[in-house]
Every structure is written in C-alpha cells, then in structure tokens.
Structure 1
C-alpha cells in the first residue's frame, strides 16, 4: 500500500490546517483540516478492501520449439459480493506486462484474455502472477496485490531431423542394424519358471538342486548407449550478440536433435553438461542418470520414453544456461572413469578448440567419439586429436553434416 503524491499533499494540508485552526482559534480551518484527514482515512479503507478474485491460466501448448506459436489464456473471476471498482490489472509474461480488463467486474462475472507468449528465444518463460492495482476514487491511495501462480512455458531448442544414428560397437540382434558378434547375449541371473518360458532356457542343474524349474535371464551387452555432452561453459562460447551466444543456442539444437533421433530409434541416451546444473531431473526411459559431467550433478537420461515429458532432457535443454564453472578436463575425467556408453557426442563452441585433446583421450573408453563445433571462424583441421569433427554454423548445418559422416 502506498500514498500517492496527491494523498501526501492532502495529508500535509490536513495537519497544517488542524494545527493553525487550533492554535489561532479558526474553526473553519479546523473543519477543513478534519475533512482532509477524513478523506485520507476513507481512501485508506477503500483501497484496503481486498477483492476476491479467482485467477486461472492455461498455456496452449506449454512446451514448444523455438519460434513456434504459443498462447496463454487468462481467466479472472470476481468471487466477491461487491463490484470491484477502480481496479487495474496486468499480467506478467516474461519481462513484459500484459493489460487485463477487470475494471468494474461484476460479482460472479469473469473476463478472459488471450495473448501470445514470446518464443523467439530458447528458455523458460514465466507467466504471472496477475498484478491488481486498486485506487480510491480520489486517487489518494494505491494498493497492489498479486493473484494466481506463475505458469512456466518451456521453449525448447529447434529439433532438426537426423537420418543417421550412431550404433556404437554393435546393436541388438533383433535391431535394424546387426553388427553383433556371436556370444554377445550374456547370462545375467536365474529366476523361477513361468508358463510360456522356453524349455531350452531352463538351467537343469540348478533346477535339480532347488527342486523347481529355474530359467536363465540373459542381457544383450551389445546394445549401444549414446552419451551427449553439451559444453555450457561461457568460455567455450565467447561470441555474443545481444547477450545471446548463438554458438551455444546451436549446440542446444544439436543436442536436442541427437537425443530425439536416439529416442526414435529406441536407443538409450544420456544427456550431460560440462558444468553441473542445479535443477534436478529424473531419468526417462532407460539409461544411467547424469548431470554435470564435471561435478556429478543430478541427471537426466532418455531411452524409449517421451523426451518431452516433465524433467526430461528437452526440459533441461530449455533451462540450461551458460556458466563460468566447470572444465572440459574434469568432464573428460569423469566420462573416462564411468564409461557411460560406447558413442560419445561432444557439442561445444569456438572457445574449446584448444581443449579437444582431453576429448581425444577418451577414444580408448568410447569406441566412437564425435565432436560438433559451432561458430568457429576457421574450420577444424582434419584429424585433430584423432576425432571425427563436425564444423557447423548452426543446428541445421550440423544436421546436414551429421548425416554425411561416414565413419563413427
């Protein structure tokens, strides 16, 4: 609650008039001062009356790719008994206010406003809360309150279709790519026989010992696992236009494209960041969790599940930002220690070209290592650190170069 300049002036006048009237015995001035003071008090009571407003929001949709349209529908309902007069309202969409017509909203009535949500930049756009400002009829007092919750709209990086998906050292026997040698189906455990199990999987020696049929459970150790490492260090993306590092935005698009292509092919994929993220994200589908590769932050893995669900890898790509923490050497050390997969995709910017040696040292732990560099002034020399390097200016160019890679 705040008193306007007019209210402050009237309050000062009331004090002066009352003081002069009482001091020098002028009842007219005393009456004027009392009237001014009463007007300020009445304004405070009028503005303090809190309207009962019910606010609801619906984003259509609440998750979009960068540049796609999104709309927010806001409904404000007057749940009180009195008409809410002299009331102004504005919703907050990102960093801009959106006016909402609620002046003299009748009891039981509602008003609905729809407006576009800006999706020109990747990120999480917070919408709300509704800011309602009340003034008294004389404009002496102003009171602002917030209604409703903040609803986020997730703006994902653009996804570019990738035809080629790396298969690593091998692929499952019933997959579309068969590069599996004999003996890759490995014994895992024993369990009780159930109707429908093949008799050739019965382990007769154990069955005779325990007195009931036991069957073997096997796992396919050749199923490839793709690890996507996104370099979110500010030092790796030094060039900025309007506080936006386009090389980093392109790297996010490439990461989203690789993750989506892997999910489409039912391949386990793990999304990691060089610098750890604070926001936790649980695993989706199959695959180990992973967060900041350098410091072991909370993780997000994607497999056969929906890559657009809450806390999924695309949510993390929408929320991830550049940071001054973490090093590529620490990230490579953890990747070498954990060996999270057999195909490693590193996506970075022009500021990390001098650190590619740390990535090249991972070729012993990962049979296939692909590096995407975005926004470099000069193309990377062939055979740098013995890596397959894809130079691209943006996500679309990366997709075209990716499909042209002949050696993983």
Structure 2
C-alpha cells in the first residue's frame, strides 16, 4: 500500500476551526490561563500581568496557525512480510514515510490501526524528516485465531515544539493480513484404496505416462515409426500414428464437515478448529505429493472450482490453488445445514480418486450418507470428531458404532480424541489400511508414496 497525504490548507474559516480544534490540553490550558490573567490585569490595572496574559493566550493560537499553514506533504506505505501466515506465527509490518515536500517536517507521531486480536496498537515518534527524506519503522503482529484482519488506515500526527497543538491526518487505504490454519507436515505413508470406483482399476501414478490412445493422428516428422497405427493408415490412405495420452494426475478430495450441530465448543482448542487445521495439513501434503486436489464442504461448495471437475489443474496452478484453498479455510465458519447430502451429490457426479473426510457428530442417517460416499472413491479415510469422544478423551459407544458402519462400507475410519496429533492418526490410518489390505483388493493410488 502506498498513498500520499499532506498537512496544511487554505486560510478559511473552516480551516481555522480545524486548527483550533487541534489544541492539546496544554494548549487549551495556556489559552485559558492567558485569558484569565488578562481579565485580572485589566481589573487590577496591572500592565505587566496583562502582557504575560496576552503572551500565554497568543502562543497556542500562533502555534495552531503556523502548524496549519505549514504545507508538509508526506507519502506513506505499508508492506506485510508475509501477507499470509499460519495461526500462532508472527508477521512483520513495515511502514515507510516519505517527505515529498520542499520543507523539513517537525515532530511526527505515526500510528497504525490493528484489530485487538493482533496485539496493541503500534505508535512511533519520528524526528525531523528532511526534505526528500524518508523514515522506516516496523512492528510485529500475531494471532492464534485464523481469519482475515484489516491493517490501517495509517494515522499521522504533527505537533509543534511546545506541544500546544496537534493535527492528525489519516490515509484511506489499508492492507489485509490473512491468518490461515496451522499446518502439520505429514509423513509420506502409503494409504491406498480399492480399484472399485476408480475407472478400470489400472494403476494411476503421476510419474507414469498413460497408455497409447486408440484415436490416431497424422504422421509428423520425427514420430517413432513403432507408433504407426496400420489399421488407420489403411483406412485413411495416409500414414497415421497413435496419440500419446498425457500423464493423469492422481486426484484427492478433502471433505470438511462444517455443520454447526456437529461440533461443540469454540476457540483455538475446539474440535472444529482441529478439523480445519487437519484439512489444511492434508491439502498441503497432497499438493506436495503431486495430486490434483480440491476442498469440499458439507454445503456442496468446492474450491478451487476450476479445471476438470473442480480440481486444481496443471502443476503451475498448484501454488495458486493452495493459496485459494488456504484463504477459504482462513474464514470458513459453521454452516446451518443439517446433513451431508449436498456434498454427496457433488461426489456422486464422477470418479473422485482418494477421499479424505473430517466429520463431526454423525447420526444414523448421516452415517449412511457418508457410507455411500465411499462408493465413488478409490480410497477413503475418515477422521471422526465425535463430541462425546472429544469431551471424555476416549471413543464412546455411539462413536464406535459409527466407526464400525463406516469401516464396513470400506472407509478407514478413525476417532479423534482431544490433543491427538494428526501425524499419529495419519500413521494409524496407514496401519489400518495395511491390516485390511488383503480384503480390499488391488491398490490404485497412494498417499505421498
């Protein structure tokens, strides 16, 4: 952010009123004392006291007039480093003031407006800034709560050497600091899914090129003669070769349950915040491993919503897609929905590859909906944040029953007790997959392998 501003104005009635309103407590005291001394001197006939009273009364008025007529022009800028920071981490805000006028400034007081959750409001005192000079200051902000926080506008105060008058100016622009959920680096375990629901069941890998497509094209200079498709050559009367299928990226959908009735409590240590942080960690991990990923919520909203079927497309889009999904998770809140049917409608529309879900409380109906989601994925892992489990620290009977139904449907379902690290649960999901792999069939996709 960069913007220019100035002190000074036209000598009109409104401008003088603004200048007089800038008198400080000291300036008003001087003015009141001077008027009182002048009245007493007139009543008592003391000329010396009258001169003192006039001096006390005129001094703050002269300071206000001179300060108002001084034409300082300054430009302010703000830079965030970084502009997107995980919860609990610090960001540094750099402020820069440039004196673009031909006159040196007086004493400047700089103040930036920040939300209270980021810390106290920073204030700085800048000494005289020479003509064409600049001053740079910085401060740190930190928040344990994710969200988008406005910084600014920047306020600048100019005072006279006696501290009798103070004028303020505010810049109109502001910047936004995005606090994203905490992200845990996950281990590169291999959690695989079944061939069922993943097309023809052939292995798909980012590093493995696809097989030859049966649709031919005309021969081009340099094509390998071993790729000549003789049947098409005889049909079209010219040399035809088989196309090469582009490598297909493995897909992963991360589902976040945001229903208000599915979570209890609030704050950084609540179950919902754990689910949001786990979702962010999973998205980052799968992007780093070369997957095409998307974020899906119970409301049916999909992010990034671009490319094929809403997944992040080519590898050069991964950084933009990650930023968009992190910005979404920074401000995601509870929904008023009561079920997972909208998310199921999105998932049943096609082949979704790997599915990782973070569920809250599940009743029988929503457990059945979640079980049907498994039919449209090559592999499925569920982290269930049951309210009783989160409160008691151990899975409740209701939670155990929900986990059993999900596992019978093909999910690798795990309960999440409070204080549990996603890294440990990630490894537990791999061990659960390994223990049931003999019954699951051939693997088609991996988690970070």
TM > 0.5 fold call: yes
Tell me the distance in 1 between the aligned counterparts of 2:68 and 2:260.
48
Question: In the alignment, which of 386, 400, 404 is matched to residue 383 of structure 1?
Answer: 404
1:145 CA displacement:
0.9
Q: CA deviation at 1:227?
A: 1.0
Residue from 134, 139, 149 that aligns with 1:115: 139
CA contact (8 A) 1:224 1:341 kept: no
Q: Distance in 2 between matches of 1:353 and 1:102?
A: 65
Which one of 103, 109, 112 corresponds to residue 88 of structure 1? Answer: 109
1:130 alignment counterpart: 154
Contact 1:7 1:40 in 2 (8 A): no
User: C-alpha offsets along residues 20-44 of structure 1, whole Å, 9 cap, x if unaligned?
Assistant: xxxxxxxxx9xx99x9899769837
2:279 pairs, out of 236, 255, 261, with: 255
2:430 equivalent to 1:403: yes
Native 8 Å contact 2:262 2:360 kept in 1: yes
- The equivalent residue for 1:199 is 225
User: What is the Cα deviation at residue 139 of structure 1?
Assistant: 4.7
Residue aligning to 2:445: none
Q: CA deviation at 1:360?
A: 1.2
Task: Give 1:150 deviation, angstroms.
Answer: 1.0
Q: Does 1:157 align with 2:168?
A: no
Residue correspondences, number: 377
TM-score, normalization: structure 2?
0.66
Following superposition of structure 1 onto structure 2, how do residues 4-403 of structure 1 map, counting pairs within 5 Å? Answer: 43=64, 46-47=67-68, 51-95=72-116, 96-134=120-158, 139=164, 142-146=167-171, 149-168=174-193, 169=195, 170=201, 172=203, 185=211, 187=213, 189-208=215-234, 210=236, 212-219=238-245, 224-241=250-267, 244=268, 246-275=270-299, 281=304, 283=306, 287-289=308-310, 301=312, 304-305=315-316, 307-309=318-320, 312-350=323-361, 355-374=366-385, 376-378=387-389, 379=395, 380-381=399-400, 382-385=403-406, 386=409, 387-392=411-416, 393=418, 394=420, 395-403=422-430
Asked if the contact 2:178–2:327 (Cα under 8 Å) also holds between the matched residues in 1, the reply is no
Distance in 2 between residues matched to 1:237 and 1:404, nearest whole Å: 28
Shift of 1:231: 1.9
For structure 1, the residue ranges without an aligned partner over 5 or more in a row are 18-28, 291-300
Q: Which has the higher contact order (CA 8 A, sep 6+)?
A: 2
Q: Which structure shows the higher helix fraction?
A: 2
Alignment RMSD (CA, Å)? 4.5
DSSP-derived class of the 2:121 partner = strand
Q: Secondary structure at the match of 1:341?
A: coil
**How far off its partner does 1:111 sit?**
1.9
Q: 5+ residue gaps in structure 2?
A: 1-17, 37-49, 196-200, 390-394, 441-449
